[in-house]
Amino acid sequence: MVNRGIEQYLRCFVGETLRRWLDYLLWAEWSYNTAFHSTIGMTPFEAVYGRPPPTLRTYDPEASVVRMEKEMELADRDVVLWRLREHMTTNMNRMNQVYDRWHRELEFEVGVLVFVRAQPYRQVTLRPVRNPKLAHQYFGPFRELE
């Protein structure tokens, strides 16, 4: 799951410059570690260090006293982070549109027979099978109680 998340961050960072993915790997890792994870209720940074992650300040050329190379690096960083936010927002909107297109709320009347779809490789209590990948995906019929 972590690799899939890092891949998604890299896709958003890299955009059209696919060959430069290694340049953005540290930013992808930082983004993953400082993003809120609903499973643990905090960021991975906070889970490891016990405090919220530090925030990045935007680059201000007037307030800076670093050398020219660092100034260019900081300016590039702000552009990359802006592009990341833009790509993430676009991707999130696209995923929401796809979900909304196919999702529908189902309501059943009490007493109706229904089939239940369970992932056989995750739900082993319904029926143990030798090859769960090829097993039936629907179980039932079960009578709707409430």
Query: What would the pLDDT profile of 90-134 be if each residue is shown by its tens digit?
Result: 888 888 899 889 888 888 888 899 888 776 555 556 556 565 555
| Cα 129 to Cα 121: distance, rounded to the nearest angstrom | 9
Q: Can you give the pLDDT at residue 131?
A: 56
Cα–Cα distance measured from residue 32 to residue 5, given in angstroms and rounded to the nearest whole number = 7
> Is pTM beyond 0.85 here?
no
Q: For 36-55, write each residue's pLDDT tens digit.
A: 877 778 888 888 888 888 88
Region 62-70 average pLDDT: 63
Long-range contacts of 134-139 (CB under 8 A, 24+ apart): 139/115
Chain centre to alpha carbon of residue 94: 13
Asked if 43 contacts 25 with a C-beta cutoff of 8 angstroms, the reply is: no
| Residue 22 pLDDT > 70 | yes
Task: Answer yes or no: is pLDDT of 32 > 70.
Answer: yes
Q: What ranges do the domains of the chain cover? A: 2-102, 113-143
